Chain A
């Protein structure tokens, strides 16, 4: 029974998300609901064979906490970078930092790299090919060790808990 269910609806979470986004974009009506249900079934059904099965995120509460912290960090440090662009231009001290990674899986690494890029002052540039290091370009580098431990504690540790890896 569950096998048949899995065949018919291979990615239930994706289907639900597709339906919700469809209804949000097109407004709620019975016609849109039927069309949305059909598409939410059809698209995952057709694309399931191509999907690259990544590590799954668990613990929705922690995901929410991570998201809120990210938003707060983006806003606070954007203000800092804005001030730096406006005033302290001459004393700018850019730098490169090699960040030693402790997660290996693709999807968590992507999330980590994107978080690092979104929080201002840092842009993730490149991974080493053994996936042990993430190279980060920093707009104003004061203390390398402090930056590394900050990223580790604020982003990497929660991500390891979320993806349990």
Chain B
């Protein structure tokens, strides 16, 4: 029974990691590309780590904490690095794809101004 659970967690994790990188490879501009790896990949690696916890639990009957520490660390740092990269991209004026809505907010955003100010 636990074998099926571990296998399912592994496959789901692998699929999410794959989709994250697929998004990185094929989405149209940098800002949309940012979405795929920071989230799908983080969730995927969370599933793989959970599978690893389950393997240790099934083999030794102990709860291994290292994996949980790694996934907590990744879940805390992923949004921070995404935010820093988005800021850097805004600062470097990396272009957005043309059909982005509310593109006029971009200048306000880059200068940290409120959207209603001049």
Contacts and interface: CB of A to CB of B under 8 A. Distances in A.
- Chain A in direct contact with chain B (Cβ < 8 angstroms): yes
Interface residues of A, number: 42
Interface in B1-56: 15-16, 19, 22-23, 26-29, 31-32, 34-36, 38-40, 42-43
Contact of A124 (B43, B83, B97, B103): B83
**Interface size bracket, B side:** 35 or more
Contacts of A55: none
A135 B87 CA distance: 11
Contacts of B15: 82
B40 A85 contact: yes
Given A74-B43, A113-B83, A128-B112, A85 B100 contact: no
A85 B87 contact: no
Nearest to B112: A129
Given A74-B43, A117-B78, A137-B35, 10 more contacts: A21-B69, A89-B27, A96-B101, A96-B106, A120-B35, A123-B38, A123-B83, A124-B86, A125-B87, A137-B86
Interface of B: 15-16, 19, 22-23, 26-29, 31-32, 34-36, 38-40, 42-43, 65-66, 69, 75-76, 78-80, 82-83, 86-87, 90, 96-97, 99-103, 105-106, 108-110, 112-115
A95 B96 CA distance: 10
